[in-house]
Amino acid sequence: MTVSHSIRNAWLADPAQPAARYRYLVEIEGVSPKSDEARIAVAQIPRRGWVADTLRKQDPRGFWVQRKTLYRPKYVATNWRLLVLAELGLTVRHPGVRRAVKLMLEDVGGRDRPFRPPRRRAPLPFCREHGPDDDPLLAR
């Protein structure tokens, strides 16, 4: 089944999902990121749609699911939520993202954490399926 361009564009431009709308406006329609239309979409990103739904699930202390580990369960823990929020346009300028990133940075260096000291050269959390020797960008 093929979706017509007009149906696809209407779905991407829907104000109910401002993260998708912003990217559609700027990347497909060529609207300036400084335009009123794009700036309104950016301002709505944390208030509507997928981002707002995700932020509502965040614990007030900054994590999703549990504080014990910010990496599990897969796809719903803090690490994963931050990756998705970044793709949808949030940065550390948002207080919820800032709290979560602070927790991630507090965990740097622990024995069972992905940001261990370099002696074991652990990969970044989003590259865990591949070791540093498999990826030239991570190899030293």
Cis upstream peptide for 132 (omega within 30°): no
Encode pLDDT of 102-119 as tens digits: 898 888 645 555 555 455
Encode pLDDT of 12-51 as tens digits: 999 999 999 999 999 999 999 999 999 999 999 999 999 9
Q: Give the C-alpha separation, 129 to 74, whole Å.
A: 13
User: Shortest CA distance to 45 belongs to which of 69, 72, 16, 66?
Assistant: 16
